[in-house]
Structure 1
Amino acid sequence: MRKILIVLTSLLLTACVDDTASYYADGSTGNHALTLHRAQKHFWSKNSSVELIMQRLPECLRRIELTDMPADEVEIELLSGGDNVWTLRAGKEMWQVETQSCTQYPDVKGDGGELIGVFRVDGNKLVFEAAVLEPAGSDTTAPSK
């Protein structure tokens, strides 16, 4: 009986989601990063809790609970307002954080800034997809000669 319970428990746990995806603001050193963590607390739950782990080492390391959303529908945009100010947007919900002093603003100020990329589910894994940024001064609507 005990062996059956062990096997069943391991099968039930495999249905749970618990993963992360990161954006490295400083390139690849990992000293300045924004990481989204998605965790499904129970295998029968369709929702997952989503939290942000922001770090700018050694001054800043903080975890902030953002929201609950369907585990397979996590899609959160990351925007940069400059000066280490970051905005995360999921539909109508928005959160603004600042990694210089490791704080979360109570209200989002401005439009959030420039789109850096999107945290989303690809397959069954949370990933960060960088936005395709066009060089300043490029005009894709100009007629060609």
Structure 2
Amino acid sequence: MRKIAILLMPLLLAACVDDSASYYADGPVGNHALTIHRAQKHFWSSESKVELIMQRLPDCLRRIELTEMPADEVEIELLSGGNNVWTLRAGQETWQVETQTCTQYADVKGDGGELMGVFRPDGDKFVYEAAVIETVPADTK
């Protein structure tokens, strides 16, 4: 029986999701990042726990549990309100954090700010995809 369990263990673990994607506020080698982590507790469950890990070293490092949702439907928009205030939005749910003092606000204030990008599944991995900013040419009259 033990041999069967050992042989089946890789199959059971293969279906689980446990990955993350990061946005680096001060470039790829900086110390200021927002990371979304998604993890399934059990291979038979479609739900995954979604967490935010915010860091602005050496002053801020904090993990915040956001929600649970199906692993393949984790799509979270990241908005910047300036002054290290960030808003995360997934459907009707929103969260607002501030990385200056490592705080999560009880209520979301304002519209969230400028869209920076989206955390989402891409095939078998989880990625951060930066928003495309289009510039509108000035009228030349």
Alignment of 1:60 onto 2:41: no
Q: Any conservation in 2 of the 1:40–1:49 contact (CA below 8 Å)?
A: yes
How far off is 1:42 after superposition? 0.2
Query: In structure 1, what is the equivalent of residue 23 of structure 2?
Result: 23
What TM-score do the two structures reach when normalised by structure 1?
0.92
Tell me the amino acid that sits aligned with residue 114 of structure 2. E
Give 4+ residue runs of structure 1 displaced > 6 Å after superposition: none
Deviations 1:14-35 (A, max 9, x none): 1100000000000012400000
- 1:101 alignment partner, SS class: coil
Tell me the amino acid that sits aligned with residue 45 of structure 1. S
How far off is 1:133 after superposition? 1.4
How far off is 1:124 after superposition? 1.9
Query: In structure 2, what is the equivalent of residue 4 of structure 1?
Result: 4
Query: In structure 2, what is the equivalent of residue 44 of structure 1?
Result: 44
Q: Name the CA distance, whole Å, in 1 between partners of 2:109 and 2:52.
A: 19
User: Within 5 A, what are the aligned runs for 1:92-111?
Assistant: 92-111=92-111
How much is the aligned-residue C-alpha RMSD, in angstroms?
A: 1.6
Equivalenced residue count is 141
Cα pair distance change 1:30/1:19, threshold 3 Å: farther
Structure 1 unaligned runs (5+)?
Answer: none
Q: Name the CA distance, whole Å, in 2 between partners of 1:62 and 1:3.
A: 41
Q: Name the CA distance, whole Å, in 1 between partners of 2:30 and 2:119.
A: 17
What TM-score do the two structures reach when normalised by structure 2?
0.95
- 1:8 alignment partner, SS class: helix
Query: In structure 2, what is the equivalent of residue 132 of structure 1?
Result: 132
Query: In structure 2, what is the equivalent of residue 87 of structure 1?
Result: 87
- 1:77 alignment partner, SS class: strand
Deviations 1:75-131 (A, max 9, x none): 000000000000000011000000000000000000000000000011021100000
Deviations 1:6-60 (A, max 9, x none): 1112210111000000000000124000000000000000010100000000000
